[in-house]
Amino acid sequence: MPAESVPPFPSISRFKVILVCAFLLLATTINYADRLTLNQLSTELMHDLNFDKKQYGTTEFAFGLSYGIGAIVWGLVVDRYGPMRIYPMGVILWSLAGFATAYVRDFQGLVVCRSLLGFFEAINWSCGLVITKKMLAPKDRALGNGMFQSGTALGSIITPFLVLRLSQAYGWPMAFQFVGLLGFLWSIAWILFMGRTQFSSASGSAETTADELPLGRFFVWLVMQPKFWVMAIMVVAINLNWHFFRAWMPLYLREARGMSAEMQATASTVFYIAADVGAIGGGFAIQRLAPLLGVFRARVAIYFLFCLATLGSVPLAFIESPWVLWPCLVIVGMGSLGIFPIYFSLSQDFSSRRQGIVTGILGSWNWVVVSLMQQGMGFLVQSNQDRTFARLIGEGLEETQAYRQAIHDAYPLQIALSGLIPMLALVAMVFLWPRREGSPMTNSGK
């Protein structure tokens, strides 16, 4: 069955656009709530299921690798059948995987559930980016993508306290069950309210004759574009930063900073509220700057500002004072998520018909790298902790003090480096992005 044949963008009412954006935001919120439930309960699950930080890194590796496979698969499916049919099916499938996590009784079962969750969660980005591309002109896409992406922050804001209360009252399985049920409710609402809504490309999108190529030749054309390799650097750089904090910040705050579960949930909430502000605020800023600088230059300028914000990870890692910790969490949160809508908007300029596979290829590449990082991070943190503990015991330090110091020393270098990585993408954008006069890539949407 071919992808939807759809009416032109101007026929879609503003109310319908707002409604669709609201659904995208809520789907991404649920997506991240499912993803973060394990991260917020990592201490409890490591105890109950008897696994260590190396194995925790393995769960993140399994999630990321499966996500990378899913990104390719669902990108092809969405391009073939359109996002409107695939989206509710995807939300149900990843919600089932999250719900099933409540019933695991060993580490192997946890890895299976996380792998399924990763594979099906990839549907969210393939569908969401196709929809925002088809609804919005280039100068507005950063804002639309910011609203879509802000669901990651909203899910991250809600999840810590939701999971904390549910796990304290009913045990950790209830947290997975409750979050899983939210996805089923979303899917029912989508089917009821969206009906047969369909979209075509918005005016101003970057059309290309490569759209008419067979899939294999389109892939060859894509990887021959310098812009594609800039995007390949960018997607890895921003995700290494973001997913390091997503996966490891709760453990760091609990173990190295000695926070209680309640205080750690508060810190996570502060971080993700700031991230939400960054995602939406960056989109507004680009929309305002685009008439003055052109779309591409506006994106680069805002990306640069957010890169400066992610550098707050350096004092966060090495300065112990809470007067530094809390402002740095805010600054790093704004920068870490604020750079995502810029990446999404740039990736939407390649093709009008094959956004799903473009998103899938870049997403798959990204998740292979990120999953390897998570696996390596688990080994690195655990190895640093074990090595430091053995050294301190050998120096005669009391065991409890040695253990606390070893945990404290296991994280700082990684935290500092995570904030530096997004700068690699800025360098690629400035020096490698093509500069053809009149190119829609530099001047569209003026």
Q: Is the dihedral of CA 290, 295, 301, 307 positive or negative?
A: positive
Neighbouring CB atoms inside 10 A of 23's CB total 23
Task: Work out the average pLDDT over 427-431.
Answer: 91
Neighbouring CB atoms inside 10 A of 5's CB total 8
Nearest in space to 291 (alpha carbons), one of 137, 423, 81: 137
Position with higher pLDDT, 261 vs 273 = 273
pLDDT of residue 51: 86
- Distance, in Å, from the CA atom of 207 to the CA atom of 140, rounded to the nearest integer, reads 17
Location of structure tokens 């065991």 = 399
Neighbouring CB atoms inside 10 A of 427's CB total 13
Q: Which of 136-140, 219-223, 400-404 has the lowest mean pLDDT?
A: 136-140
Residue 136 is given by DSSP the state S
Neighbouring CB atoms inside 10 A of 141's CB total 32
The answer to whether 199 and 127 are in contact (CB under 8 A) is no
Assigned CATH for 9-194+210-443: 1.20.1250.20
Residue ranges covered by each domain of the chain = 9-194+210-443
Nearest in space to 354 (alpha carbons), one of 199, 208, 138, 142: 208
- Distance, in Å, from the CA atom of 360 to the CA atom of 276, rounded to the nearest integer, reads 24
pLDDT tens-digit series, residues 29-58: 999 899 888 888 888 888 889 888 888 888
Task: Work out the average pLDDT over 191-213.
Answer: 61
The answer to whether 343 and 231 are in contact (CB under 8 A) is yes
Location of structure tokens 């809600």 = 158
pLDDT of residue 187: 93
The answer to whether 104 and 175 are in contact (CB under 8 A) is no
Inform me whether the pLDDT recorded for 224 exceeds 50: yes
pLDDT tens-digit series, residues 392-418: 898 888 888 888 888 888 888 888 889
Please tell me whether the overall predicted TM-score, pTM, comes out greater than 0.75 for this model: yes
